[in-house]
Amino acid sequence: MPNRPLVLPILFALLCLGIALFPLVGDTFYVRLVAKIVVLAIFAMSLDLLVGYTGLVTLGHAAFSGTAGYVTAALVNKAGIVDLPALLVAALGAAGAAALVIGWISVRTSGIYLIMITLALGQMVFFFFHDVAFWGGADGVNLAAKPELTMGGVTLLDLADRMVFYYVALACLVLVYALLFMVSKAPFGQVLRGIRINEGRTRALGHDVQRYKLAAFVIAGLLAGLAGFLEVVRSGFISPAHVNWHESATVLIVVILGGMGTLVGPVIGAAALVLLEDWFANLTVHWKLFVGLFVIAVVLVLPSGLIGLAGRIGALRWSQRLRRPGAQSAVSKGAEVAREGAGDA
């Protein structure tokens, strides 16, 4: 984008610095909370690639993180594998494979069909983990041990140590940000942006949009898998609820709340949602009422998220470049083109 200042990357750097320094001052409980935020932020960033950059609204993203989590738990509990690289490869591989299959079916559709099909396929994955006894059933399973990185008999990283985990998660956040930043600037990311703005024209310029969408699905799935891996290690627990569509909807909210298509937005959104939930939950048992009202309010008055709000308040020009809520969805556009074609006939 033209003349866009480096405000967002700088904001991200400041956030990461804050997170890195937080354990020096923060109470143990809040350090745990921040770790949760970091993992959720990675999850939301991975979805941002689809929603914010490519314009693909999906409601089955938890299927990928959940798959990674379950594969990790199974390998640790049933095979006794705690080797960090091996677990990561397996978890991400499984998540990527799930994304490839679900993506292959889904990218043939768009708009509302895409939402419905990803929701339905995501629930299929949910039932797979819920019903097949091997995975531990409806109540979920606890992780018997935490992964560790050893080399020549020396333990370099032991994720059972909360502080080690904290900084590993933070490093992953930075890594994922850097990766997505790079991808978004590369020709690949430019095509994704083209697909979001005008899919038909992108195709007419010679880009195989299906293939790009599928690749975006797989990349997003892999990164969601990383988030799922970190989450199961963080909480030491995985259950079908982690794969449920409510989880997918929640991470979508995180993306919108922060501001989609910005990469920093998901971090801010994750922090806002986790802290808000904690606050509401302390206030009343009916905290979901307030979360629900909050979500509705965001949709109606804050469509460009907190980043957009900050932009508006700070009169920062780039905020206007964020995606407009009024933008037509791909479906209605497609329908229009079809009608035009027929109308001329």
Partner 1 sequence: MLPGARRDRRPTDTPAGRWCTATRPGGSTSTVASTCAAFLSIGPDGSFGMDASISYLIQILNGVQYGFLLFLVASGLTLVFGIMGVVNLAHGAFYMVGAYLAFWLSTVTGSFALAILIGVPISVLLGLVVERIGFTHLYHRDHLYQVLFTFGLILVIGELRAILWGNDVHGVAVPPLLSGSVALTETQSYPIYRLFISVACLAAAVVLAAVIKTTRLGMMIRASATNREMVQVLGLNVDRLFMVVFGLGIGLAAFAGMIAAPVSSVHPGMGDEILIVSFVVVVIGGVGSIMGAFWGAMLIGLADTFGAVLLPGAGGAVVYALMALVLAWRPNGLFAGR
Partner 2 sequence: MREPILETRGLSRRFGGLRAVSAVSLSFEAGVVHAILGPNGAGKTTTINLLSGDLSPSEGTILYKGRDITALPVHARVHLGIGRSYQKTNIFPELTCLENCRLGAQARLPGWLNLVKSASHYGEIGERAERALALCGLEARAGAAAGTLSHGEKRQLEIGMTLATGPDLLLLDEPLAGMGIEESRRVVDLLKRLATDHTLILIEHDMDAVFSIAERITVMVNGAVLETGSVEAVRASPAVQAAYLGEEHAA
Partner 3 sequence: MAHLNVGLSRRQLLAMAAIGTAGSALPRPVWAAPRRIKIGLMLPYSGTFAALGHNITDGFRLRLAEFGDRLGGAEVEFVRADDESSPPKAKDNAAKLIIKDKVDVLVGTVHSGVAEAMVQVAREEGILTIVPNAGSNRITRELCAPNVFRTSFSNWQANHPCGDVMLKDGHRDVVLISWNYAAGKEMLGGFKESFTAGGGRVVKEFMPDFPKDEFQAYLTEIAALKPDAVYAFFSGGGALKFIKDYAAAGLQGKIPLYGPGFLTDGVLVGAGAAAEGIKTTLHYAHALDNPLNVKFRSAFQEATGRKADVFAVQGYDSASLLAQGLAAVGGDIGAKKGLIEAMRSAEIDSPRGRFRLSRSHNPIQDVYLRQVRNGEEVVIGIAGKAVEDPATGCKA
Binding-site ranges for partner 3 (CB under 8 A): 27-29, 32, 36, 130-131, 137-140, 142, 235-237, 239, 241-242, 282-285
Q: 108 vs 288, which CB is nearer to partner 3?
A: 288
Task: Mark out the alpha helices in 198-329 (DSSP H runs).
Answer: 199-204, 209-235, 245-258, 264-283, 287-301, 305-313
Q: Report which residue type is found at 138.
A: A
Shortest Å distance, C-beta 343 to partner 2: 8
Q: Which two tokens stand for residue 103?
A: 């993506």
Q: Which two tokens stand for residue 32?
A: 């745990």
Q: What torsion, rounded to 10 degrees, do the Cα atoms 242, 252, 124, 76 define?
A: -30
Residue with tokens 């995985």: 238
Identify which of 181, 257, 179 has the alpha carbon closest to the alpha carbon of residue 10: 181
DSSP helix/strand/coil, 325:
coil
Given 28, 187, 313, 326, the residue binding partner 2 (CB under 8 A): 187
**How many other CB atoms are there within 10 angstroms of residue 259's CB atom?**
29
Quick check: 85 binds partner 2 (CB under 8 A)?
A: no
Q: 155 vs 332, which CB is nearer to partner 1?
A: 332
Q: 78 vs 185, which CB is nearer to partner 2?
A: 185
Contact, 278 vs 93, CB < 8 A? Answer: no
Q: 32 vs 321, which CB is nearer to partner 2?
A: 321
Which option in partner 1, partner 2, partner 3, none does residue 311 bind, with CB closer than 5 to 8 A by kind?
Answer: none
Contact, 96 vs 214, CB < 8 A? Answer: no
Taking contact as CB under 8 A, which single stretch among the options 31-39, 89-97, 282-290, 306-314 is the one that binds partner 1?
Answer: 282-290
Quick check: 295 binds partner 1 (CB under 8 A)?
A: yes
Contact, 220 vs 269, CB < 8 A? Answer: no
Distance CA 251, CA 167 (A): 22
Quick check: 105 binds partner 2 (CB under 8 A)?
A: no
Given 86, 89, 327, 337, the residue binding partner 1 (CB under 8 A): 327
Shortest Å distance, C-beta 134 to partner 1: 12
**DSSP symbol at 322:** S
Which option in partner 2, partner 1, partner 3, none does residue 295 bind, with CB closer than 5 to 8 A by kind?
Answer: partner 1
Given 4, 185, 286, 317, the residue binding partner 1 (CB under 8 A): 286
Q: 125 vs 215, which CB is nearer to partner 2?
A: 215
Binding interface with partner 2 (CB under 8 A): 1-2, 182-183, 185-191, 193-194, 197-198, 200-209, 211-212, 215, 321, 337, 340-342, 344-345
